[in-house]
Amino acid sequence: MTDKNIPDIVVSRLPIYLQTLQHLSRQGKTITSSQELGEQSFITAAQVRKDLSFFGGFGKQGSGYDINYLSARIRQILKVDRIWNVALVGSGDLGHAIARYPGFAERGFHIRYVFDNDPAKIGKMIGTLPIISTDKMVEIIRQEGIMVAMITVPSRAAQSVADQLVQAGIKAILNYAPVALNVPENIRVETVSPILQLEHMTYYL
Amino acid sequence: MTDKNIPDIVVSRLPIYLQTLQHLSRQGKTITSSQELGEQSFITAAQVRKDLSFFGGFGKQGSGYDINYLSARIRQILKVDRIWNVALVGSGDLGHAIARYPGFAERGFHIRYVFDNDPAKIGKMIGTLPIISTDKMVEIIRQEGIMVAMITVPSRAAQSVADQLVQAGIKAILNYAPVALNVPENIRVETVSPILQLEHMTYYL
């Protein structure tokens, strides 16, 4: 399904379209247009049409897009038409908030394991998940074939955690630590950077 | 200082350079190059030079960039050479994690007020901050002249909170709710979208 010719910037907009489609669907709509989809995604209608054309036509001229069909196709393209098991490393305040947040599971990202290296935390529960020692992390992730991980450890520990995750077979890392991670080229990393987003906005104030 | 001719994409990379410069500085370095700055920011050296040239030359050919000077200049350009008072709306798990996280204050974003509409939470403390009723939100933000806010309320409440924040005089919103917010054109919004980032990565798995 993955086509190397599709620019990453186009791929990065598909989750936005999917979110908007789900929003429209919750409003009871069944058909949308590139105009409406664009407006609610803050992307131009022309860009929407161009982006979707990379994956074959989804709509007929004049009749709009079927919301259910388009959602299902985008889910398939993004490979979120399945459940992804996720390992979470770091059980501080943010780790707790993430482990308890139902939004990830609702979108197919099920946090199955929480790891921490603090002996005082190991064995404690977050909801139904016990906090497990990072000593067992590589083995468990390998055994379970988990490919997606989230890092919520302090900056100074993030790179060494990332190294272990890669060694364990993780292919995609969502990094909440405010630091750039070095990983092999075949591993995807996305960093959640609220501070950089704030600093971007203050420029305009 | 704000120059409308500087593309937003360039502005969006300045916080990344600043983060890398701070990282280099903590390693004891005082001078860097566009090569090094780029490598550690995952941006090409040519792009680094081009981006920084928008704001006047910061380095001399061959002698590199003075890290302290360049950091100070970028801070000034981004207006993060000062303290920004921040209002946080929503005191759930994520709101708690954010209010207790020292990283925002370290970068000049001081959370001064936490608001919630849940009577059971109002008056309780998060660290040294009492949770205040959203009934008082517009008045307090206006009185204190606060311009930056973070939203960590559930999706269904996010738009109405944003409307109130705009009414109160907020100019920049960091939105943690997984929903696109409608605000007037002169208001900046950045959304923290970990789920979209995950969905972007799974495409490549």
The CATH classification number of A8-77 equals 1.10.10.10
Q: Which amino acid is it at A112?
A: R
* Mean pLDDT (chain A, rounded): 93
What's the average model confidence in pLDDT over B50-58? 80
Question: What topology does CATH give the domain B8-78?
Answer: Arc Repressor Mutant, subunit A (1.10.10)
What is the rounded average pLDDT of the residues B46-50? 93
Q: Is B93 annotated as a binding residue?
A: yes
Is the ipTM value over 0.90, yes or no? yes
C-alpha distances (whole Å) from B119 to each of A103, A123, B116, B134 are 24, 34, 8, 10
A101–B80: do the CB atoms touch at under 8 Å? no
Residues A9-34 have pLDDT tens digits of 999 999 999 999 999 999 999 999 99
Q: Assess whether pLDDT exceeds 60 at residue A3.
A: no
Task: Name chain A contacts of B181, Cβ cutoff 8 Å.
Answer: none
CA distance B34 to B117: 48
CB pairs under 8 A between A and B: 170
Q: Which of B192, B181, B133 is nearest to B157 (CA)?
A: B181
pLDDT band of B1, cuts 50, 70, 90: very low
Burial category of A18 from C-beta neighbours within 10 Å (exposed 0-12, middle 13-18, buried 19 and up): buried
- Is A169 marked as a binding-site residue? no
Q: Find all residues with CB under 8 Å of A124, minimum gap 6, and list them.
A: A91, A130, A131
Question: Rounded CA gap, A195 and B139, in Å?
Answer: 26
pLDDT at B194 over 50: yes
User: Over the stretch A154-188, which tens digit does the pLDDT of each residue have?
Assistant: 999 999 999 999 999 999 999 999 988 999 999 99
A94 is in an annotated binding site: yes
Closest CA of chain A from B167, distance in Å = 16
**Residue B152's pLDDT band (cuts 50, 70, 90):** very high
What's the full length of chain A, in residues? 205
Q: Where are the domains of chain A?
A: 8-77, 84-197
**pLDDT tens, B96-134?**
999 999 999 999 999 999 999 999 999 999 999 999 999
Instruction: Note the pLDDT of residue B60.
Output: 62
Which CATH superfamily is A84-197 part of? Answer: NAD(P)-binding Rossmann-like Domain (3.40.50.720)
CA nearest neighbour of B131 among B152, B115, B149: B115
CA B92 to chain centre: 20
Residues A29-66: tens digit of each pLDDT: 999 999 999 999 989 999 999 999 887 766 666 678 99
Nearest CA-CA distance, residue B20 and chain A, Å:
8
Q: How far is A103 from chain B (nearest CA, A)?
A: 8
Helices (H), A27-150: 34-41, 45-53, 67-77, 93-100, 103-106, 137-144
Query: C-alpha B174: how far from its chain's center?
Result: 7
